[in-house]
A and B are shown apart, each in its own frame.
Chain A
Amino acid sequence: MKLTREEVLKIAKLARLHLEEEDIAKYQEDLGSILSYVEKLQELNTDDVPEFQHAAGSVNMFREDVVENCDPDVRRRAIDNFASREGDLLKVQAVFENRTE
């Protein structure tokens, strides 16, 4: 099984990944061979088997619903990592474009 070029481009788009033209064929092949391998699971009848959902086994780990401010130094260091900022705010390109009222 090999994924089509369109399938690879579609999932790359979904995952927000730019792919280099020369890599696309290799991804078609690699993803295809991995997906063929994992097909193996279809051999098993799992109709009556529940999904595994809770790795920790703990339930309802509540804490008080109070605002806990971040340590101001940690906050400063986190903000210092921003690619672009205005004051303490993260500056990004417009999220919505071609907006019509």
Chain B
Amino acid sequence: MDVSTWTIKEAGEKLASGALSAEALTRSCLDTIEQGDTDVKAFLNVSETALEEARAIDVRRAAGESLGSLAGIPVGTKDVILVQDWETTGGSRILEGYNAPYDATAVERLRAAGAILLGRTNCDEFAMGSSNENSHYPPTTNPWDKTKVPGGSSGGSAAAVAAGFVPAALGSETGGSVRQPASLCGIVGLKPTYGRVSRYGLMALSSSMDQIGPLAHTVEDVALLLQAIEGRDPKDGTSAELSNTTIPALIEKDVSGMTLGVPKEYFASGMDSQVAAVVNEAIAELERAGAKIQEISMPHSEYALAAYYIIQPAEASSNLGRFDGLRYGYHSGGENLQETYERTRGEGFGKEVKRRIMLGSYTLSAGYYDAYYRKALKVRTLIKRDFDEAFKNVDAIVCPTSPTVAWNIGEKFDDPLSMYLADIYTVTANLATIPGMSVPCGFVDGLPVGLQILAKPFDEYALFRIGATYQDRTNWHKQSPT
């Protein structure tokens, strides 16, 4: 049984009709991982109870019980999302041996929908990175070319779906960590509006931007996952009461009458010309489908990355203060408490995490706070205003997800700034708190390219409508690495 190209929808239909059991599907995923993951290295661990949970779903189905929308569907989860009793490390040495005491709300809701939690996927340490190379564990590779990076930080989740190990996975975003690896691995990845999905049980990186987001082959599958995990959660004060719950059946595959903005700043310097050509062709396809295309300007775009790399490390330096070597994970004892902290954190954190903690400590320190942090918050307002202005005239924005296709492993590893530039087109959505999605739209030299779609806060339907229309007219998402 080759499940590698199955969507949730296809697998779900087979499960519902009895043509396939959840146990067989789960076993097939586990076998595929065992055979194929030695060189992709997408999973850090697979669940020991997955088969048992799948059998329980089969029993309930046989008994005629009504089951959730994801009943029997195996899902991978990024190693920053807590799954009770699993070792959950954030891809960091500092959480080695830490066993999650409870399920994240998103995980609890996946379980309630009947999903089988299959295993935890590799990621950049505490979600800081764009290539997966910052993981404490061996880096995940890109299933399309194993000498290339899968993107990051949810690279393990993206590679697991692209390689056909699981039909879907959860990742998390702070500056593009779902959309960018989705783009580089040729799948769909969604960053929901800030507040749409509870972050309870998600390791905090930058609390004013973090969101959990789904990855899958199709827009419809991503909508199914969002439907399962979204909505108000009393355990996350920033989670919103939703006025428009996602109902995948409502997604129209029609963009006629929609106006799509193309920001000229998103095709500026650093943009690979072949990637630009592929994205422009995707935009032309949407025009043929009936959308009106309008060039727009987002004048502060070029400042977004700089603002992001002040705000995010500042929040990270504060959030990661909790890792003290005492309450969880790695511990390296010193002569006194100060030395224990310094040793534990010095040995437990990797280089990029230390770099960002120091950067954040610097920009928040006395004498620099106004020039860096306060300034960045003001620029964040300007970026938000750019989007508010744009959405007065357009229904959504279409542009590239990443300025390039996947690069060689090691290529940018020693140059943090060039790594940061990989996020240049994705950080804006996080700064502005709006939803964004990457949809596969072609290839350059055999490597996938993603079309990014951005919409107003809580208008995920616009993303789904545009993405589903595009996928209805193209076959890029049906291709899989050999």
Q: Is chain B a partner of chain A in the same complex?
A: yes
Q: Known: A15-B357, A77-B101. Contact between A44 and B325, CB under 8 A?
A: no
Stretch at the interface among B153-161, B214-222, B268-276, B302-310: B302-310
Q: Known: A27-B358, A52-B384, A80-B99. Contact between A16 and B342, CB under 8 A?
A: yes
A81 engages B327 (CB within 8 Å): yes
B378 engages A23 (CB within 8 Å): no
Q: Is A1's CB within 8 Å of the partner chain B? A: no
A51 engages B85 (CB within 8 Å): no
Residues of B close to A92: CB separation below 8 A: 326, 337
A residues contacting the other copy or chain, number (CB 8 A): 54
Q: Known: A16-B338, A77-B101. Contact between A56 and B361, CB under 8 A?
A: no
A55 engages B375 (CB within 8 Å): no
Q: Is B66's CB within 8 Å of the partner chain A? A: no
- Complex Cα gap A23–B355 (Å): 11
Q: Is A84's CB within 8 Å of the partner chain B? A: yes
Residues of A close to B195: CB separation below 8 A: 55-58
Residues of B close to A94: CB separation below 8 A: 336-337
Instruction: Specify which of A8, A18, A52, A77 is in contact with B381 (CB 8 Å cutoff).
Output: A52
Q: Is B425's CB within 8 Å of the partner chain A? A: no
Provide 28 A-B residue pairs closer than 8 Å at the C-beta atoms, listed in order of the A residue.
A11-B365, A15-B358, A16-B341, A17-B357, A18-B346, A31-B362, A34-B417, A37-B309, A40-B302, A40-B306, A41-B307, A41-B376, A41-B379, A44-B300, A52-B384, A56-B240, A56-B433, A57-B195, A63-B234, A74-B102, A77-B84, A78-B101, A81-B99, A82-B328, A83-B326, A93-B337, A94-B337, A95-B337
| Interface residues of B, Cβ cutoff 8 Å to A | 84-85, 98-102, 194-195, 208-209, 234, 237-238, 240, 300, 302-303, 306-307, 309-310, 317, 321, 325-329, 331, 336-338, 340-343, 345-347, 349, 351, 354-355, 357-359, 361-362, 365, 371-372, 374-382, 384, 416-417, 420, 431, 433
Further pairs besides A16-B341, A53-B377, A56-B194: 20, Cβ < 8 Å: A16-B321, A17-B345, A17-B354, A17-B357, A19-B346, A30-B417, A33-B416, A37-B309, A39-B306, A41-B303, A42-B371, A44-B303, A46-B378, A46-B379, A49-B382, A52-B377, A58-B240, A63-B234, A81-B101, A90-B327
